[in-house]
Chains A and B, each alone.
Chain A
Amino acid sequence: MIRILAGLRIALRALMVNKMRSALTMLGIIIGVGAVITMIAVGSGAKKRIAEQIASMGSNLLIVMSGSATSGGFRHGAGTVPTLTVEDAKAILSEIPGVRYVAPNLSGVAQTVFGNQNWSTIIYGTTPEILEIREWPLAFGRSFTQQDLDGVTKVCILGRTVAENLFGGIDPIGQVIRIKKVPFNVIGVLSPKGQSTWGTDQDDVIFIPLTTAQKRLFGMQFPGMVRVITVQAREPEEMEEVEEQITALLRQRHRIQPNQENDFSVRNLTEIMSSAEQSAGVMSLLLGSIASISLIVGGIGIMNIMLVSVTERTREIGIRMAVGAKGRDILLQFLIESLVLSLIGGTLGIGIGIAGTLILSTFTQWPVLFSAESILLAFLFSGSVGVFFGFYPARKASLLNPIEALRYE
């Protein structure tokens, strides 16, 4: 302990003597650590945004879409021909144990009017479960209920964007808006959710009871028609199993022969999102590695300076050995010196990195995220760079022959 304290004092003095040299050596580490901090912050910011978007979409989601139509040799996109029914949705919920919620829906774009304001938006006819699935709380008012579905009531819940465009500052609850000229009572307003992964505004939406959408707004080509069924599985591990079970169940219900194609499709949205998350992870790893290279270059700078310092101070080493310094005392002295260099550099680098990241995010609007782990990691990394690159010069010093070191001019 005495030796380490004394070593620390010696190291600080030695670094103070060559202020300019110490500062320049540190600069390598400062830039390296700063780059690592910035890159990790940008990378994990991107990752976090994607994770938030996944969460805003709801977790463990499977989207069952109506099959594509073939008319005169042209195949249309998925969902163009309605094949799904409310009964399908009920069957999925009751027969597949891994399913927590289902929300059948029938949607379309419609013009909405309130007073002298009008706004075109997406109308989702669905069941109240959709808000549970998407983990989307109401900001004001209430959601519609089973009674609303049974009674085909004309009530609606507004997304935040719609509420703002139609009502401005007025409280929408209890007001009447017209959707396709049909009057609807506003019973609730949703909390804001922001942009989706694809950049669309998730708040530009109105939810109404499914039955109302079927009977009053969009009509049905057959009873109980829906275009999409949103399914939430209980556990992420069960997703694939649930997906297969839904496919099997619907093929059976739709009486599809083994050699026929499905008249519906099942999409695993979480999978798509998590691959986006993975690519963001790879991106941030890549950025981090590039930054680490500059930290290693900084470490080589330390090694270089320490070698010069050992040569310069050969006589000092000789004196210390003559009065009883052991090899490990000398080793420790130079190791502490390079460690102090790299840790001070690391600390300053963390500061510069944080400042740089904040400036960057102000100008580019990129999301950034600092974590205590990444900062600690950068600090420890700079410390290990100091030890790693300081070891060779320190060992060289410790192996000097005292007589030759004393004679060195």
Chain B
Amino acid sequence: MEALIQVQDLVKVYSLGEVKVQALRGVSLLIEKGEFVAIMGASGSGKSTFMNILGFLDQPTSGLYLLEGMNGENLSKDQLAEIRNRKIGFVFQGFNLLSRAASLENIELPLIYAGTPASKRREIAQNALSEVGLKGREHHHSSQLSGGEQQRVAIARALVNHPSILLADEPTGNLDSKTSEEIMDIFSRLNQEKGITIIMITHELDIASHAKRIILFKDGKVVDDHKPEMRSR
């Protein structure tokens, strides 16, 4: 069977004026459907660049990236936007919610761009909100929510279009350890019960240990790829 994500010799070079920065120097990976992967590495190791490419926010300089056999190369900006909309869910460190909008409206955002009618949007968003345990917080603006609650809204938003992968860029970076645990519990549940593929960047080994696979980046290359030790609860 074909892998969900297939990455071959991925290279990304940024040119900052005269200086060329090599963010990725040949990354090759396979990620199967239903995996829960943590990507670790020091800052500047290229993991964020890798994540942006996986999320079709950025294009590699060379190399191959296939998501469900689909190549992002040669696609127009509009087609990339459509893939982001349908296939990918993003969760960011800083939550990235629209501060002036209520939780429900934030969750509805991907549905608007998918062309879902308003009445259906509301229903789907409502369900997604209960899914992350925030029933009753529909009309709260993000400024009225705690960090953990904001991140749950962001997770709900990431999932409304039933994406193939959930990409999380340091999802617990702005949260205390207790809230971080809660978020990781949600991730684990989504992965185990719903079979959602999750790829997560993190600094903390503690958080990474929730994943079923840990990939270590260094200087734009994968230097380690292993299963975590069994956690002792």
A interface residues with partner B (beta carbon < 8 Å) = 2-3, 5-6, 13-14, 17, 315-316, 318-329, 402-403, 406
* Residue contact A2 to B118, C-beta cutoff 8 Å: yes
7 A-B pairs with C-beta separation under 8 A: A3-B112, A3-B113, A14-B100, A322-B55, A322-B96, A402-B57, A403-B58
Q: Mark B142-181, 1 if CB is under 8 A from A, else 0.
A: 0000000000000001000100000000000000000000
Q: Mark B43-54, 1 if CB is under 8 A from A, else 0.
A: 000000000100
Measured in the bound complex, the distance between the Cα atoms of B96 and A326 in whole Å is 18
Measured in the bound complex, the distance between the Cα atoms of B57 and A326 in whole Å is 12
Q: Mark B106-123, 1 if CB is under 8 A from A, else 0.
A: 000110111111100000
* Residue contact B117 to A325, C-beta cutoff 8 Å: no
**Known contacts A13-B101, A329-B113, A402-B57; is A324 also within 8 Å of B77 by CB?**
no
Shortest CB-to-CB span from A67 to chain B, Å, is 83
**Known contacts A322-B84, A402-B57; is A6 also within 8 Å of B112 by CB?**
yes
* Residue contact B98 to A324, C-beta cutoff 8 Å: no
* Residue contact B84 to A324, C-beta cutoff 8 Å: yes
Measured in the bound complex, the distance between the Cα atoms of B110 and A323 in whole Å is 5
**Known contacts A324-B82, A325-B81, A326-B78; is A13 also within 8 Å of B112 by CB?**
no
Please give 16 more A-B residue pairs, beta carbons under 8 A apart, in addition to A6-B112, A327-B77. A3-B112, A316-B98, A318-B96, A319-B96, A321-B84, A322-B90, A323-B84, A323-B85, A323-B110, A323-B157, A324-B110, A324-B161, A326-B81, A326-B82, A402-B57, A406-B92
Using CB atoms, name the residue of chain A closest to B87: A324
Whether B86 sits at the interface, judged by CB under 8 Å, is yes
Shortest CB-to-CB span from B87 to chain A, Å, is 10
**Known contacts A316-B98, A403-B57; is A326 also within 8 Å of B115 by CB?**
no
Shortest CB-to-CB span from B123 to chain A, Å, is 15
State which of B85, B110, B112 has its C-beta within 8 Å of the C-beta of A2.
B112
Count of chain B residues near A, Cβ 8 A: 29
Q: Mark B65-90, 1 if CB is under 8 A from A, else 0.
A: 00000000000011001101110001
Q: Mark B176-207, 1 if CB is under 8 A from A, else 0.
A: 00000000000000000000000000000000
Measured in the bound complex, the distance between the Cα atoms of B44 and A230 in whole Å is 99
B interface residues with partner A (beta carbon < 8 Å) = 52, 55, 57-58, 77-78, 81-82, 84-86, 90, 92, 96-98, 100-101, 109-110, 112-118, 157, 161
* Residue contact A406 to B96, C-beta cutoff 8 Å: yes
* B161 surroundings in chain A (CB, below 8 A): 324
* Residue contact A17 to B82, C-beta cutoff 8 Å: no
Measured in the bound complex, the distance between the Cα atoms of B56 and A323 in whole Å is 11
* B113 surroundings in chain A (CB, below 8 A): 3, 320, 323-326, 329
Using CB atoms, name the residue of chain B closest to A406: B96
* B97 surroundings in chain A (CB, below 8 A): 319
* Residue contact A2 to B157, C-beta cutoff 8 Å: no
* Residue contact A324 to B100, C-beta cutoff 8 Å: no
* Residue contact A323 to B100, C-beta cutoff 8 Å: no
Using CB atoms, name the residue of chain A closest to B98: A316
* A322 surroundings in chain B (CB, below 8 A): 55, 57, 84, 90, 96
Shortest CB-to-CB span from B155 to chain A, Å, is 13
**Known contacts A13-B100, A323-B90, A325-B81; is A5 also within 8 Å of B118 by CB?**
yes
Shortest CB-to-CB span from B30 to chain A, Å, is 25
* B81 surroundings in chain A (CB, below 8 A): 321, 324-327
Shortest CB-to-CB span from B81 to chain A, Å, is 4
* A14 surroundings in chain B (CB, below 8 A): 100
7 smallest beta-carbon distances between A and B, as pairs: A324-B85, A324-B113, A323-B110, A326-B81, A6-B112, A326-B78, A319-B96
* B55 surroundings in chain A (CB, below 8 A): 322
Measured in the bound complex, the distance between the Cα atoms of B113 and A321 in whole Å is 9
Using CB atoms, name the residue of chain A closest to B81: A326
**Known contacts A17-B100, A316-B98, A406-B96; is A323 also within 8 Å of B109 by CB?**
yes
Measured in the bound complex, the distance between the Cα atoms of B98 and A140 in whole Å is 78
Shortest CB-to-CB span from A302 to chain B, Å, is 21
Measured in the bound complex, the distance between the Cα atoms of B34 and A10 in whole Å is 36
In this complex, the member of B81, B116, B161 whose beta carbon has the largest number of chain A beta carbons within 10 angstroms is B81
Shortest CB-to-CB span from B82 to chain A, Å, is 7
Measured in the bound complex, the distance between the Cα atoms of B81 and A318 in whole Å is 12
Measured in the bound complex, the distance between the Cα atoms of B96 and A183 in whole Å is 100
Measured in the bound complex, the distance between the Cα atoms of B90 and A325 in whole Å is 13
Shortest CB-to-CB span from A374 to chain B, Å, is 38
Measured in the bound complex, the distance between the Cα atoms of B90 and A315 in whole Å is 15
* B112 surroundings in chain A (CB, below 8 A): 2-3, 6
* A5 surroundings in chain B (CB, below 8 A): 118
In this complex, the member of A14, A318, A319 whose beta carbon has the largest number of chain B beta carbons within 10 angstroms is A319
Shortest CB-to-CB span from A369 to chain B, Å, is 45
Measured in the bound complex, the distance between the Cα atoms of B74 and A148 in whole Å is 98
Shortest CB-to-CB span from A400 to chain B, Å, is 11
* A324 surroundings in chain B (CB, below 8 A): 81-82, 84-86, 110, 113-114, 161
Using CB atoms, name the residue of chain A closest to B116: A2
**Known contacts A2-B112, A2-B117, A320-B109; is A403 also within 8 Å of B98 by CB?**
no
In this complex, the member of B52, B55, B86, B96 whose beta carbon has the largest number of chain A beta carbons within 10 angstroms is B96
* A13 surroundings in chain B (CB, below 8 A): 100-101
**Known contacts A324-B113, A325-B81, A326-B82; is A319 also within 8 Å of B118 by CB?**
no
Using CB atoms, name the residue of chain B closest to A403: B57
Shortest CB-to-CB span from B144 to chain A, Å, is 16
Measured in the bound complex, the distance between the Cα atoms of B171 and A90 in whole Å is 104
* B57 surroundings in chain A (CB, below 8 A): 322, 402-403, 406
